[in-house]
Amino acid sequence: MAEEFKVIVFTLAHEEYGIEVDKVRTIERMAPITRVPKTPAFVKGVINLRGIVVPVIDLRSRFGLAEAEATENSRIIIVAANELEVGFIVDSANDVIDLTSDAVENPPEVVGGIKAKYLSGVAKFGEDRLLILLNLSEVLNRSEIIQLEQFGA
């Protein structure tokens, strides 16, 4: 029996991606980001989210895509990864859809220039849409999480 799950759909460089709803805490409008020295380039800094300091990662930069200016559609998706809350800057977050495990296939080696290790799969939905599902444990690998925890404390 195929498992059903809900996915938040967001865009990056005109491609659609998904994160399972149960890993998403909240979706926020862009907020002032405080830069933190000596962090990887894709770590944009931290935001104060209702009194909690949350590290923010630019997913375009993380995946080696061309950077883009924030627009009124840009969002910060706050996800929970190993007891740590982290914000992902995305071009837009516009949908929640239901998927079944049957619709998800293993990712090809490279999808849109993004290494397969960052992806958990590719889902077919709708008439001819493909959704790239993120593998959060690789997007935030162990050593980076330790680094981020240091200024989240």
Q: What is the pLDDT along the chain (153 residues), one digit of tens a residue?
A: 678 999 999 999 988 999 999 999 999 999 999 998 888 888 899 999 999 999 999 999 888 888 889 999 999 999 987 678 899 999 999 899 999 988 888 877 655 555 667 788 889 887 888 898 988 877 776 566 566 656 554
CA atoms within 13 A on the CB side of 97: 22
Considering only the C-alpha atoms of the chain, give the largest distance between any 2 of them, rounded to a whole number of Å.
49
pLDDT reported for residue 153 = 45
Distances (CA, A) of 4 to 1, 40, 97, 100: 9, 36, 10, 4
Task: Report the pLDDT value the prediction gives residue 116, as an integer from 0 to 100.
Answer: 67
- Strands (E) across 51-143 are located at 52-58, 75-81, 84-90, 92-100, 104-105, 110-111, 114-115, 119-125, 129-134
Q: Which residues does 129 contact at the CB level (< 8 Å), separation at least 6? A: 16
Query: Is 4-152 CATH 2.40.50.180?
Result: yes
CA distance 114 to 69: 20
The domain segmentation of the chain, as residue ranges, is 4-152
Q: Record the pTM.
A: 0.86
Q: What is the CA radius of gyration of the chain?
A: 15
Sign, CA dihedral 79-153-142-88, equals positive
